[in-house]
Structure 1
Amino acid sequence: MVDLDRRVRRTRRILHEALIALILEKGYERITVQDILDRADVGRSTFYSHFRDKEALLVASFDGLRDELRREFDAMRPDMPAPDAEPAIAVIFGHAHRHRRVYQALCGKRGSEFVHGHLHRLIAAMMRDHLEPHLTAADSDLPVDVVAEFCTSAALGLLTWWIGHDFPYSPTRLAEMYRKLAAPGVRAALGRAAE
């Protein structure tokens, strides 16, 4: 049983690595399942015993990222003040920097709208969970979904730019720049004067 689990994890990892490498080389839209099979040196029946199609493999590739990112979000103290969402954004930028190759494939020029949409939904959900208690405590008149979408869209725009320019700033510096740009809007949502 342990050997079977190990083989499943190994096969999935190899397929994931092949997909990421191919996205970086050819772009997601131009990749076929056969390309993935050839790169991973895996048979068609093995692939289809794990995934329905290349989109299912792509979605599964997000699982590990999502779980790791969720653990990092959860590790932030729940009582941590969030006047500008910088702690959550810093987590996202740090995560992207540590997994540069994967994020280059997912957010870079070679990704697809599907990839961007999936990442957007993932980050928006985490931002919503992070911001909701702060907005509730502040008795904000803005819906949490609107504030989370604002923060997510700004963060993903900056993240995409950062990746496209080969990470010219540290994650900490990028989070500081995000804070300077986005903090006034989030502070207004929290009913706080400019600090």
Structure 2
Amino acid sequence: MSTVSLSSGIIGVRMSDMNEDLTETQLDPRIRRTRMLLQSALGTLLESKSFSDITITDICNQADIARITFYQHYDSKEALLLAEVADFFTSMYQAVDQDMLDHFFATGEMGALVSAQQIDLADPNRVRLVGVALQYASSAVRELTIASFLETYSQHETELDEQEILVLATFYVGGMLTLLEQFLNGRLPISPLAFQAVPLTLLRLLRQGAIQSGILSDLP
């Protein structure tokens, strides 16, 4: 059984590791049940306490699970938090395909792309957890989301090389997550549709500028 970990605020598992971990969880009902209890306990505690005030002992008491069992699954409360919201960030781009990207980059029309991006902001409990993760595990969330974006985008990009794609992805994801945090905190008074449209529009403009100017290809 693999343990989900964070190291110095940076995610300690690759996308492939996370996928292997989820597969293992699906195959073993005991592991799945234990992790569901721990994640549910964290969600319940967050209804009345700040994440910074919650201890691993609090989580274990709420779940009626021994601390040693907690550490068999997660190395920190941040890792537990990330595991609870990981699918929100890793599933954003999984349904995006070549035709959607080509059409969007050529025309700017993003209806199909927005529909394919699975960004569910309807569940208040999930929204609360995502907001907490952006605040307390931001580096890990950013790394996880960049990996997810690259996993899809790099398969379909034909105009930029690997380094250019990485620079573009890092810039885009960083901006998108900052917008998401502001949106969830109520400091960005726009609709969920507009929240998705703004970073996509900027991504298209950045890509066009990078291709036309060659600025990314001139990096040392």
- Whether TM exceeds 0.5 here: the answer is yes
Please state how far the C-alpha of 1:17 moved relative to its aligned partner.
Answer: 1.8
1:184 deviation in Å? 1.9
Equivalent residue number for residue 95 of structure 2 = 75
For the pair 1:60 / 2:80, whether they are aligned, the reply is: no
Pairing partner for 1:104 from 114, 128, 152: 128
User: 160-169 vs 115-124, which deviates more?
Assistant: 160-169
**Change in 2 beyond 3 A, CA 1:27/1:107:** same
C-alpha displacement of 1:50: 3.2
Q: Give me the TM-score of the superposition, normalised by structure 2.
A: 0.64
Q: TM-score, structure 1 length as denominator?
A: 0.71
Distance 2:44 2:116 in 1: 25
- Choose which of 55, 59, 62 in structure 2 pairs with 1:36: 59
With over 3 angstroms needed to count, the CA separation of the structure-2 counterparts of 1:126 and 1:64, relative to structure 1, is: closer
AA at the equivalent of 2:145: I
Does the 8 Å contact 2:89/2:141 carry over to 1?
no
Q: Secondary structure at the match of 1:122?
A: helix
1:187 aligns with 2:208: yes
For 2:114 and 2:59, locate their aligned partners in 1 and report how far apart those are by CA, in whole Å: 33
Structure 1 residue runs without a partner (length 5+) = none
The Cα of 1:102 is off from its aligned counterpart by 2.9
Give the aligned partner of residue 95 of structure 1: 119
Residues of 2 paired with 1:161 and 1:85: CA distance?
Answer: 25
Is this contact kept in 1: 2:150–2:169, CA < 8 A?
A: yes
Who is 1:149 aligned against? 170
More helix by percentage: 1
1:139, distance to aligned residue in structure 2 (A): 4.5
Count of residues in Structure 1 that have an aligned counterpart in Structure 2:
182
Q: State the one-letter code of the partner of 1:40.
A: A
> CA offsets, 1:5-38, max 9 Å, x none?
3333222112112223334543332221111022
What's the RMSD between the two structures over aligned residues? Answer: 3.6
